[in-house]
Amino acid sequence: MPKDTFFNLPEEKRTRVEEAAIDEFASYTYETASVNRIVDGAGIAKGSFYQYFKDKKDLYKHIMNIIIQKKLEYMSPTITNPFEVDVFTLLREMYKSGLSFALSHPKLLEIGNKLLLDPSHDIYKEIMEENKARSDEVFLLILKAAKDRGEIREEIDLEMASYLLTNLNIAVSDYYMKKSEKHEYSKDMMKTIDKFIDFIQYGMTNTKGGD
Q: Which residues bind DNA (CB under 7 A)?
A: 4-5, 8-9, 13, 33-37, 44-52, 55-57
Q: Is the torsion defined by CA of 25, 27, 30, 31 positive or negative?
A: negative
Q: Is 152 an interacting residue with respect to its own copies (CB under 8 A)?
A: yes
Helix-helix angle 158-179:135-148, to 10 degrees: 120
Which of DNA, its own copies, none sits in contact with 68, Cβ below 5 to 8 A by type? none
- Residue 88 contacts residue 201 (beta carbons within 8 Å): yes
Stretch of residues binding its own copies (CB under 8 A), selected from 16-24, 58-66, 95-103, 147-155: 147-155
- Residue 66 contacts residue 55 (beta carbons within 8 Å): no
Closest to DNA by CB, 5 or 131: 5
Q: Is 120 an interacting residue with respect to its own copies (CB under 8 A)?
A: yes
Closest to DNA by CB, 55 or 194: 55
Q: Is 187 an interacting residue with respect to its own copies (CB under 8 A)?
A: no
Question: Which whole-number Å values give the CA distances from 71 to 52, 68, 99, 100, 171, in the listed order?
Answer: 25, 5, 10, 10, 17
Q: Is 129 an interacting residue with respect to its own copies (CB under 8 A)?
A: no
Give the integer Cα–Cα distance in Å for 135 and 112.
Answer: 12
Q: Please, is 163 exposed, middle or buried when counting C-beta atoms within 10 Å of its C-beta (0-12, 13-18, 19+)? A: middle
Which of its own copies, DNA, none sits in contact with 46, Cβ below 5 to 8 A by type? DNA
Name the region of 44 (left: φ>0; alpha: ψ -120 to 50; beta: rest): beta
Give the integer Cα–Cα distance in Å for 138 and 7.
Answer: 32
Q: Is 76 an interacting residue with respect to its own copies (CB under 8 A)?
A: no
Using CB under 8 A, which residues numbered 10 to 49 contact its own copies?
A: 27, 29, 31-32
Q: Out of 66, 123, 128, 200, which residue is the one contacting its own copies (CB under 8 A)?
A: 200
Q: What minimum distance in Å lies between the beta carbon of 167 and its own copies?
A: 4
* Residue numbers at the binding site for its own copies (CB under 8 A): 27, 29, 31-32, 87-88, 114, 117-118, 120, 150-157, 160-161, 163-164, 167-168, 170-172, 175, 192, 195-196, 198-206, 208-211
